[in-house]
């Protein structure tokens, strides 16, 4: 073989290796995987929903992320305000798009939830996100963006604490296992032993219908999810494990949102349902109310799929990081979600 041919082959092999390395990682189910977060990485801090009205919460959030081992790059408009929102719709969307475009940023976390994400869900650059997959996380109102990103790009996104959340040990360990250590983790509630009681009364799960099921994880805040029904940003629920949580909603509104999911055909397609915490979801005023038990039974028992209630998901102190789009197996009696492979590369 002459030298020039040998050099050409070496060049072709090197170019092929670089091209392969540039291809985004994919899970066995075809989902796009972001690179895992590592200590020393830079996290982009954005505010896609509510404004942060005081300086101290922003300072505490940045210190929390630094204590996790990250550098923090605040978005240009993270401290902006227009009415209840963190700036105009265009400003909030541009911060997210800018963070995905910025090669120095390894991942993106929302400052807080609230409201406003639905106003910008159609302003994200999904082509850019697909070309430059990164960790994207948040919960509550971020449900719309997390599910839209997965639906539009195939990227696994994360129902996770926001930057302003309390980063207690349980929440930190779950976040690290799923987003940093790339573990095929088992997501289960914290173990709380009774101090002066015969049985544990906290962090309990309860099977509504026992059994196991496998599927992609989709879901989040029920009210926000239901508001996406009929749009291109609503998750594909075929064969999925649907997880739901909510806060400060009267029970009749929980009923209404579940009816929306049923009428949209979503409930009839799922392989299983995981109910997180429905914090302060109470009857309200009027002539009476169904209980949450009755509402869940009415909508979920006819599905004949595994269902359990009480998962550490939602507006609570200690919360799991749940990867939307990742393949998992739920066990209703054990109250667990087992990832079938890592949710990051």
pTM of the model: 0.92
Check if the beta carbon of residue 47 is closer than 8 Å to that of residue 86: yes
Marked catalytic residue, from 47, 64, 94, 140: 140
Domains of the chain: 32-164 (3.40.50.10740), 186-339 (3.50.30.60)
Q: List per-residue pLDDT tens for the chain, 345 residues long.
A: 555 555 555 545 554 444 444 688 999 999 999 999 999 999 999 999 999 999 999 999 999 999 999 999 999 999 999 999 999 999 999 999 999 999 999 999 999 999 999 999 999 999 999 999 999 999 999 999 999 999 999 999 999 999 999 999 999 999 999 999 999 999 999 998 888 899 989 999 999 999 999 999 999 999 999 999 999 999 999 999 999 999 999 999 999 999 999 999 999 999 999 999 999 999 988 678 999 999 999 999 999 999 999 999 999 999 999 999 999 999 999 999 999 999 999
> How far is residue 298's CA from residue 262's CA, in Å, rounded to a whole number?
11
Say whether 47 is catalytic.
no
pLDDT at 17: 45
CA distance linking residue 337 with residue 326, whole number of Å: 11
Active site residue 245: yes
Q: Angle at which helices 251-263 and 292-300 pack, to 10 degrees?
A: 10
Residue with tokens 């408009």: 77
CB 221 within 8 A of CB 143: yes
Which residues, 6 or more positions from 16, have their beta carbon under 8 angstroms from its beta carbon?
none
Q: What angle do CA 258, 320, 212 make, to 5 degrees?
A: 60
**Which residue in the list 159, 171, 315, 329 is annotated as catalytic?**
315
Catalytic-role residue among 144, 245, 249, 329: 245
Rounded mean pLDDT of the chain? 94
| 159 assigned to active site | no
Over the stretch 82-113, which tens digit does the pLDDT of each residue have?
999 999 999 999 999 999 999 999 999 999 99
Q: Alpha-carbon distance 271 to 306, whole Å?
A: 8
């Amino acid at each position: 073989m002459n030298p020039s041919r040998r050099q050409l082959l070496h060049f072709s092999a090197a170019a092929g290796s670089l091209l392969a390395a540039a291809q985004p990682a994919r899970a066995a189910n075809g989902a796009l995987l972001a690179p895992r977060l590592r200590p020393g990485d830079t996290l982009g801090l954005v505010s896609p929903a509510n404004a942060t009205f005081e300086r101290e919460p922003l300072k505490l959030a940045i210190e929390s992320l630094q204590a996790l081992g990250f550098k923090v790059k605040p978005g240009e408009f993270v401290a902006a305000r227009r009415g209840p929102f963190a700036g105009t719709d265009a400003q909030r969307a541009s911060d997210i798009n800018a963070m995905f475009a910025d090669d120095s940023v390894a991942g993106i976390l929302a400052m807080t939830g609230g409201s406003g994400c639905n106003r910008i869900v159609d302003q994200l650059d999904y082509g850019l996100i697909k070309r430059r997959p990164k960790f994207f996380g948040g919960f509550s109102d971020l449900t719309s963006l997390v599910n839209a990103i997965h639906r539009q790009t195939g990227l696994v996104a994360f129902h996770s604490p926001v930057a302003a959340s309390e980063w207690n040990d349980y929440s930190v360990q779950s976040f690290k296992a799923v987003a940093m250590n790339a573990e095929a983790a088992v997501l289960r509630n914290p173990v709380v032993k009774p101090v002066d009681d015969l049985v544990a009364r906290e962090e309990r799960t309860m099977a509504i219908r026992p059994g196991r099921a496998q599927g992609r994880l989709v879901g989040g805040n029920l009210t926000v999810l239901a508001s996406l029904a009929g749009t291109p940003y609503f998750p594909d629920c075929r064969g999925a494990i649907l997880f739901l949580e909510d806060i400060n909603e009267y029970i009749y509104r929980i009923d209404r949102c579940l009816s929306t999911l049923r009428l949209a055909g979503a409930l009839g397609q799922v392989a299983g349902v995981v109910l997180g915490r429905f914090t302060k979801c109470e009857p309200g005023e009027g002539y009476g109310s169904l209980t949450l038990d009755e509402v869940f039974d009415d909508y979920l028992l006819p599905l004949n799929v595994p269902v359990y209630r009480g998962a550490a998901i939602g507006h609570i102190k200690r919360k799991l990081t749940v990867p939307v789009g990742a393949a998992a197996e739920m066990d209703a009696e054990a109250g667990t979600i087992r990832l079938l492979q890592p949710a990051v590369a």
